[in-house]
Chains A and B, each alone.
Chain A
């Protein structure tokens, strides 16, 4: 479908018939030519009066050019967007959140179409991204908005409409709303405000929005859940990514989530070993590039390795009294637990080691623990009767104790005491426990007492109401040692029974919290963004984002990110919190538009201006017209005499077709076969025979490598019907009884091969048992095959044939069989023995075939290790026979490659000497 920008111009087409008459009346301009013979021309008249008019086809050409020009200037547009002509300003609204990132380029293209349309209509345009903070809207000319639209990017949070209805300009205007199709709060209000100004058209892409909730951890597995906006049954893949041990970002795990038809949620669990799980930095839906399809992981997924060292074996049966029991219960769901001796757990390199009332450590253990703490380990010690009664850190501070201890400790609120049990003082500022509520029912009855030292106050992170230190801490290298001055069981205090115990363990980063951080966890700290993601789910620069107050972060975790708090990873003092574009409690609900709203989808056919092609056609036709006019007036010949110049111009006009030539398989084979000397064997169709041929030629090739200057490549199987033979100097052709006769084309190839210097070794492999020209099945097959070949007369190999001396001096030619006759081309009848020479003068002709039945390939054959594949003969004599078989092969290849070189008289003296004559 074609529309026009200025259809009135098409009226000019009416003028074409007028042009017809005009052009017909004005013939092409004549040439003035000086010519003495004009005297003879006087009085001659032209035959046809028609000739002074422009020929009809030239007329047609010119009218076509003009029609194309008129058509082009009329501004044809293919697939024009139907639109209602309006001169009101147009407001284009983008929701502009991550939910549109998936098809953002299409939305921008659509907005550009709208802009172009508005430009043609002369409407001013304003473009608004609703994820921005509300700002005044100003209408501009359409083309000046185009740059802004193209530079527009979605933002990694979802649109908030608050305030936008107030920011709308006054007056009447139409609106076009590119919506993400998700129900947001405030959308209805904004819609109503827009409708008050003029018509509202809504655009929605049916493309489904998919989002990934933050991953959780429950029952020892990672819990993944995703949401979407309706649709049929769907399966998505979620990949877990993180650095591998060498620090390179990799996909660590992958799982699939199934959406049932019509369902908006899908879940899956991912079982991962803790080493792998702790490395995961993000989950993402494979194939989607939006912030909602990415969920960053924070410390909530990380599980620390905690080792508990206690000697609780002496209190068998009293599990509830075991100090380690409370720790186990507190840490079991939150950390990986190890138990054992100090030496055992140190080799596992845990994050935390808890010493439960362990007083005395050996020197080796002390050194190991010190080194481990120095590298960042957290040593948590609980007091107990043993520590209280020991001499550890009494007179002098133990390296693994934060404070010196007074002898005996103290007991308050007992039967023998006047005091009541002590409660906890509020945690001071600067303590890791600051902000935790102190339950009133926590009471301490017994504790070990710290010696007052100058730095005791700075090492105290929790104290009792009377100021007695309850928890002290000392920093060693990158790690720290923390001493809890009470037991880990309920014997000395009720602390292990309260929720505070767990919270304190968390604050000490012994364990990590399971779910969403609460306001209380975050408040009071400034959280600095460590990593920020953009709307497409890619990592963006985090240094431009300021740190935020914990309360704000806690609010954003509930309500989703915003401009002040882009999604990303926020780091506090001791932990990191991931703020994801799609939160744990976020929902995707389809937007339901009020009745009567005009909703458009992405149309497949985009507008395409035909102006350029039409004008180009006009230009092409006009240049053709130039050639035609030249030809008509007889000047084309002169143009032709300009020669190469004109040809270059014509060639430049032609589109150059550059077609890369595909290299065929045949070429590949030809290249492989011409890299060096290649021995070929003919495929018989019998796999075992072919394997023997291959192995035999390989063995022969090895011997050639070892003994001669011939260094053949791997042998090549030759299919007579398909392959080119010209690349092979030598073909080994084992004849089987049921071998098919080659086709006529193959015969012509073979004959060409034989005529142009190739040599074929026919091997009937029957040991010649039935004698020359025998009737064995193989010999019959050979006769059948050879009948189509251009083979000269043959004779049994004479004693003085060059084959007997081309490398080795030989008189027999064994393979696996000995003594069979070998046939070669017959010597010319006039070959005579020269005086004093042991050989006839056989300088001409190399035999094109060697025929025999000694099964040479089997004798030559070697396996991959280079060992002979088949036994030959018996014992030492057999090995000698194999050696002679190789010698025959080498002689044969030498004969193939050097021809009758060794027949030359120049070698006679040396040969005579060798022969001992």
Chain B
């Protein structure tokens, strides 16, 4: 009974939160679409992409005779590439993502979910297949987006720090990992290694709260992780600032190094900034340009 009641309560909560989240994600995605058009490369597809001079070896069938008749050379009509990609999204569901350094700021988890969903909106509009890691195979279409929304919201926080899930990664597909990457690095390393084995490339987006970047603490303090599993006591928090920041920078360097080695792209996003820049960057990174 209680499970059913709990489920129902959560479903109702979701029913209230879904439209705003989706609306926000679509609103965010819309700002990106304005500046981005198509896949910008020739390939299989319906839309005209460009005319190019015919090379030897081009089948005669592909020559566009109407265009070629207007000049002396032969032109081939190319269509825009419309092959669909499979993109797996992993949003860190851990408790550490629920942190926010200021009541006026969104939590890291909120921002990560928003980014993931907005990315999904963009990709689905582009005709790609999008899925959540560990939540079944990627699919395309509007229905998949609603499914994504539901699953993103339903994932309950469990551990203190998350470990990327690489289940469901499609061979040669794309992946997006959204996390604060403050936990142990072994899980990240293993996941990236397996992804590289399958030829998957992708994006590591580290979402951090400004408080984690600045460490604005002083005095005698006991720091507790969000789940309470880790504690650290200090007499003068201010004295730790320098060493903490050094360790954070080390962690970022390590992530960037990992990403570089496995052909991924790494970026840090702060919840204090707008989501738009991060979305733009992630989208372009998925396009494979950089």
Please give the residue numbers on chain A whose beta carbons come within 8 Å of chain B beta carbons, in ascending order: 27-42, 44, 46-48, 51-52, 632-635, 637
**8 pairs of residues in contact across A and B, judged by CB atoms under 8 Å:** A28-B220, A33-B221, A34-B225, A34-B226, A35-B211, A39-B96, A41-B232, A44-B243
- Which residues of the other chain, A, contact B161 by a CB distance below 8 angstroms? 36, 39
Closest CB of chain A to B226's CB: distance in Å?
6
B218 within 8 A of A: yes
- When the two chains form their complex, are residues A48 and B232 in contact, meaning their CB atoms are under 8 A apart? no
Least CB separation from A31: chain B residue: B221
The residue that B224 contacts in the complex, of A27, A28, A33, A52, with Cβ under 8 A, is: A33
- Which residues of the other chain, A, contact B232 by a CB distance below 8 angstroms? 38, 41-42, 44
Cα–Cα, bound, A239→B183 (Å): 102
Cα–Cα, bound, A44→B245 (Å): 12
Please give the residue numbers on chain B whose beta carbons come within 8 Å of chain A beta carbons, in ascending order: 96-97, 99, 161, 180, 182-184, 209, 211-212, 215, 217-226, 230-240, 243-244, 247-248, 251
- Which residues of the other chain, A, contact B215 by a CB distance below 8 angstroms? 37
5 closest cross-chain pairs (CB), A and B: A634-B219, A634-B218, A36-B96, A51-B235, A30-B220
Cα–Cα, bound, A51→B217 (Å): 15
- Which residues of the other chain, A, contact B238 by a CB distance below 8 angstroms? 634
- Which residues of the other chain, B, contact A637 by a CB distance below 8 angstroms? 218
- When the two chains form their complex, are residues A46 and B222 in contact, meaning their CB atoms are under 8 A apart? no
- When the two chains form their complex, are residues B231 and A38 in contact, meaning their CB atoms are under 8 A apart? yes
Closest CB of chain B to A46's CB: distance in Å?
5
- When the two chains form their complex, are residues A32 and B230 in contact, meaning their CB atoms are under 8 A apart? no
Cα–Cα, bound, A192→B84 (Å): 128
The residue that A32 contacts in the complex, of B97, B224, B240, with Cβ under 8 A, is: B224
- Which residues of the other chain, B, contact A40 by a CB distance below 8 angstroms? 182, 244, 247-248, 251
Closest CB of chain B to A36's CB: distance in Å?
4
Cα–Cα, bound, A31→B226 (Å): 15
Given contacts A40-B248, A41-B240, A42-B230, contact A35 B99 (CB under 8 A): yes
- When the two chains form their complex, are residues B243 and A33 in contact, meaning their CB atoms are under 8 A apart? no
The residue that B219 contacts in the complex, of A34, A38, A48, A633, with Cβ under 8 A, is: A633
Least CB separation from A30: chain B residue: B220
Cα–Cα, bound, A635→B237 (Å): 13
The residue that A30 contacts in the complex, of B209, B221, B244, B251, with Cβ under 8 A, is: B221
Closest CB of chain B to A627's CB: distance in Å?
14
Cα–Cα, bound, A905→B222 (Å): 87
The residue that B182 contacts in the complex, of A32, A37, A47, A48, with Cβ under 8 A, is: A37
Given contacts A39-B182, A632-B219, contact A34 B233 (CB under 8 A): no
- Which residues of the other chain, A, contact B226 by a CB distance below 8 angstroms? 34, 36
- When the two chains form their complex, are residues B236 and A36 in contact, meaning their CB atoms are under 8 A apart? no
The residue that B236 contacts in the complex, of A33, A37, A38, A46, with Cβ under 8 A, is: A46
- When the two chains form their complex, are residues B222 and A52 in contact, meaning their CB atoms are under 8 A apart? no
Least CB separation from A633: chain B residue: B219
Given contacts A39-B161, A39-B182, contact A34 B234 (CB under 8 A): no
Closest CB of chain A to B10's CB: distance in Å?
24
Cα–Cα, bound, A634→B217 (Å): 7
Cα–Cα, bound, A630→B239 (Å): 18
- Which residues of the other chain, B, contact A38 by a CB distance below 8 angstroms? 223-225, 230-232
The residue that B223 contacts in the complex, of A41, A48, A52, A633, with Cβ under 8 A, is: A41
Tell me which of B161, B217, B225 has the highest count of chain A C-beta atoms within 10 A of its own C-beta: B225
Cα–Cα, bound, A802→B267 (Å): 81
- Which residues of the other chain, B, contact A48 by a CB distance below 8 angstroms? 235-236, 239
Cα–Cα, bound, A31→B217 (Å): 10
Given contacts A36-B180, A47-B239, contact A41 B244 (CB under 8 A): yes
Tell me which of A47, A632, A634 has the highest count of chain B C-beta atoms within 10 A of its own C-beta: A634
- Which residues of the other chain, B, contact A47 by a CB distance below 8 angstroms? 236, 239
- Which residues of the other chain, B, contact A27 by a CB distance below 8 angstroms? 220, 235
Cα–Cα, bound, A39→B184 (Å): 8
Closest CB of chain B to A45's CB: distance in Å?
9
- When the two chains form their complex, are residues B180 and A31 in contact, meaning their CB atoms are under 8 A apart? no
- When the two chains form their complex, are residues B236 and A51 in contact, meaning their CB atoms are under 8 A apart? yes
- Which residues of the other chain, A, contact B230 by a CB distance below 8 angstroms? 38-39, 42
Additional A-B contact list (14), CB under 8 Å, known A39-B230, A40-B248, A41-B232 = A30-B222, A31-B221, A32-B224, A33-B222, A33-B223, A33-B224, A34-B225, A36-B161, A37-B244, A38-B230, A46-B235, A46-B236, A51-B235, A634-B238
Closest CB of chain B to A99's CB: distance in Å?
72
- When the two chains form their complex, are residues A33 and B217 in contact, meaning their CB atoms are under 8 A apart? yes
Least CB separation from A52: chain B residue: B235
Cα–Cα, bound, A48→B220 (Å): 12
Cα–Cα, bound, A51→B183 (Å): 29
- Which residues of the other chain, B, contact A42 by a CB distance below 8 angstroms? 230, 232
Cα–Cα, bound, A34→B211 (Å): 11
Closest CB of chain B to A888's CB: distance in Å?
76
Cα–Cα, bound, A52→B222 (Å): 13
- When the two chains form their complex, are residues B220 and A633 in contact, meaning their CB atoms are under 8 A apart? yes
Cα–Cα, bound, A51→B221 (Å): 12
- Which residues of the other chain, B, contact A36 by a CB distance below 8 angstroms? 96-97, 99, 161, 180, 182, 209, 212, 225-226
- When the two chains form their complex, are residues B247 and A32 in contact, meaning their CB atoms are under 8 A apart? no
Given contacts A30-B233, A46-B236, contact A37 B248 (CB under 8 A): yes
Cα–Cα, bound, A694→B225 (Å): 89
- When the two chains form their complex, are residues A39 and B236 in contact, meaning their CB atoms are under 8 A apart? no
Closest CB of chain A to B228's CB: distance in Å?
8
- When the two chains form their complex, are residues A634 and B96 in contact, meaning their CB atoms are under 8 A apart? no
Closest CB of chain A to B145's CB: distance in Å?
29
- When the two chains form their complex, are residues B223 and A35 in contact, meaning their CB atoms are under 8 A apart? yes
The residue that B221 contacts in the complex, of A39, A44, A634, with Cβ under 8 A, is: A634
Cα–Cα, bound, A633→B236 (Å): 9
Closest CB of chain B to A883's CB: distance in Å?
83
Closest CB of chain A to B91's CB: distance in Å?
16
Given contacts A47-B239, A51-B235, A51-B236, contact A35 B219 (CB under 8 A): no
Closest CB of chain B to A50's CB: distance in Å?
9
Least CB separation from A29: chain B residue: B220
Closest CB of chain A to B234's CB: distance in Å?
6
Cα–Cα, bound, A38→B239 (Å): 15
Cα–Cα, bound, A48→B248 (Å): 23
Closest CB of chain A to B191's CB: distance in Å?
18
- When the two chains form their complex, are residues A31 and B239 in contact, meaning their CB atoms are under 8 A apart? no
- Which residues of the other chain, A, contact B220 by a CB distance below 8 angstroms? 27-31, 51-52, 632-634
Tell me which of B218, B222, B223 has the highest count of chain A C-beta atoms within 10 A of its own C-beta: B223
Least CB separation from B237: chain A residue: A634
Cα–Cα, bound, A142→B233 (Å): 60
- When the two chains form their complex, are residues B225 and A44 in contact, meaning their CB atoms are under 8 A apart? no
Least CB separation from A42: chain B residue: B232
Cα–Cα, bound, A44→B244 (Å): 8
- Which residues of the other chain, B, contact A41 by a CB distance below 8 angstroms? 223, 232, 234, 240, 244, 247
Least CB separation from B215: chain A residue: A37
- Which residues of the other chain, A, contact B97 by a CB distance below 8 angstroms? 36
- Which residues of the other chain, B, contact A46 by a CB distance below 8 angstroms? 234-236, 239-240
Closest CB of chain B to A32's CB: distance in Å?
5
Closest CB of chain B to A26's CB: distance in Å?
12
- Which residues of the other chain, A, contact B234 by a CB distance below 8 angstroms? 41, 44, 46
Tell me which of A28, A33, A37, A633 has the highest count of chain B C-beta atoms within 10 A of its own C-beta: A37
- When the two chains form their complex, are residues A34 and B237 in contact, meaning their CB atoms are under 8 A apart? no
Least CB separation from A629: chain B residue: B219
Closest CB of chain A to B285's CB: distance in Å?
25
Cα–Cα, bound, A40→B251 (Å): 9
- When the two chains form their complex, are residues A39 and B225 in contact, meaning their CB atoms are under 8 A apart? yes
Closest CB of chain A to B178's CB: distance in Å?
15
Cα–Cα, bound, A37→B180 (Å): 10
Cα–Cα, bound, A35→B237 (Å): 12
Cα–Cα, bound, A38→B230 (Å): 7
Cα–Cα, bound, A36→B99 (Å): 7
Least CB separation from A36: chain B residue: B96
- When the two chains form their complex, are residues B244 and A31 in contact, meaning their CB atoms are under 8 A apart? no
The residue that B99 contacts in the complex, of A34, A52, A633, with Cβ under 8 A, is: A34
Closest CB of chain A to B21's CB: distance in Å?
23
Cα–Cα, bound, A33→B228 (Å): 11
- When the two chains form their complex, are residues A34 and B235 in contact, meaning their CB atoms are under 8 A apart? no
